[in-house]
Amino acid sequence: MGDILHALPAVTALRQTHPSWQIDWVVEPRWSALLSAEGSVTRDSVLQPVVDRLYLVPMKAWGRKPLDRSTRSQIRTLRSELGEVRYDAVLDFQGAVRSAWIARMAHSKRVIGEARPRERLASLLFHERVSTQGSHVIEQDVELAAVVAGDELQPVQPWLPMDPAAEAAADRLLGPCQNRAMILVNPGAGWGAKRWPVERYAAVAVELIKRGWCVVVNAGPGEESLAQVIAEETGGKAILLGGELSQLIAITRRISLTIAGDTGPLHLACALGRPVVGIYGPTAPSRNGPFGTHFKVLRNPDSRRDHTRREAPEAGLLTIEPADVLEAADELLAGERSR
């Protein structure tokens, strides 16, 4: 989810600069709601697709059964479909061996990726290797996209889909808030080392509710128990989301603040221009932190960048207290009220 949201400003910039181009995207099915080709909200609130076609590619499922007949059949179909289009260029924003492998399936003469991708072996599959200068991954992705036509692109507010059914569902779900300002809390993260303890999220939620705010809790698949802890600690006053991505997009459009670690919902809030409090540990905010919105990042100076999938929270993360998060939230909310 984060990779897609980080690449969206670059692709939106391409769409704005070259509206007649055909721009397609290969994506895992579970994240397709971020890229719906039916229509996205542009700067002028007009529905226009940021991409023309989505290829839904279940890479994780393929990885579990690489030799399965169904997997091999789906790979052949994808290779055929990509090759038929004759793409002028293919951009690999993810920088992984699997994404570079799919990029080569298109048989384009230009497969473009970073000179120092996330996985070094991926660079062997690129025809063009771009040495990016930006510190944030969004800036790096824009530099990568600019190579296609030699444009001088800048990061722009990305276009995200507008699903009428999800918008209506969001209005119904948030009815109990009764015009109160809403704060979204997301206690999950990709792995344990990035995850601030859920008990501390719950303490923050309790205090926010005491102050009259409406607290909405999001939990991704497999993180439902985290949301339940917050629900119990708040006496059922926090509103729990059901996990639908299109609904999360709709709800995030309505909130006043998001509180989360380095995880997809935080980057979604940034993409929608909503203020965020980022609680960071082993990942570097300079590369993966909030971007393009008002934000506060909390991180211990002694925390070091480490993407090892450890289960226990990183030591520096544990030095951040609920009072620190509440102070950062108060500052941002005060700023929102004054604007």
- Kindly report, residue by residue over 157-202, the tens digit of the pLDDT: 999 988 888 999 999 999 888 788 899 999 999 999 999 999 999 9
The more confident residue out of 134 and 180 is 134
Instruction: Tell me, yes or no, if the pTM score tops 0.75.
Output: yes
Left, alpha or beta for 167 (phi > 0: left; psi -120 to 50: alpha)?
alpha
- Do 157 and 172 lie in a common domain? no
What pLDDT score does 37 carry? Answer: 58
What pLDDT score does 43 carry? Answer: 57
- Do 197 and 327 lie in a common domain? yes
| CATH number of the CATH domain containing 47 | 3.40.50.2000
Last residue of one domain, picked from the residues 161, 196, 229: 161
- Do 200 and 106 lie in a common domain? no
- Do 27 and 141 lie in a common domain? yes
What pLDDT score does 206 carry? Answer: 98
129 beta partners = 113
Task: Count Cβ atoms below 10 Å from residue 279 Cβ, excluding itself.
Answer: 29
Place 2 in a pLDDT band, splitting at 50, 70 and 90: very high
Q: Determine the length of the chain.
A: 339
Last residue of one domain, picked from the residues 161, 181, 204: 161
Task: Count Cβ atoms below 10 Å from residue 228 Cβ, excluding itself.
Answer: 14
- Do 317 and 171 lie in a common domain? yes
Place 47 in a pLDDT band, splitting at 50, 70 and 90: low
- Do 71 and 135 lie in a common domain? yes
Host H or E run for residue 84: helix 69-85
Q: Please write the tens of the pLDDT for every residue from 205-216.
A: 999 999 999 999
Q: What is the domain range of residue 290?
A: 164-338
Place 308 in a pLDDT band, splitting at 50, 70 and 90: confident
- Do 156 and 173 lie in a common domain? no
- Do 147 and 57 lie in a common domain? yes
- Rounded average pLDDT over 223-229: 94
Place 38 in a pLDDT band, splitting at 50, 70 and 90: low
- Rounded average pLDDT over 34-52: 69
Ranges of beta strands (E only) in 21-127 are 24-27, 40-41, 47-48, 53-56, 90-91, 111-114
Task: Count Cβ atoms below 10 Å from residue 94 Cβ, excluding itself.
Answer: 23
Instruction: Say if residue 45's pLDDT is above 60.
Output: no
Last residue of one domain, picked from the residues 132, 161, 190: 161
Which pairs with CB-CB distance under 8 Å and at least 24 residues apart come from 146-151? 147/112, 148/14, 148/88, 148/89, 148/91, 148/110, 148/112, 149/17, 149/18, 151/13, 151/14, 151/17
- Do 149 and 207 lie in a common domain? no
Instruction: Say if residue 41's pLDDT is above 90.
Output: no
- Do 321 and 267 lie in a common domain? yes
- Do 69 and 151 lie in a common domain? yes
Place 125 in a pLDDT band, splitting at 50, 70 and 90: very high
The more confident residue out of 204 and 161 is 204
Instruction: Say if residue 331's pLDDT is above 90.
Output: yes
Overall number of domains in the chain: 2
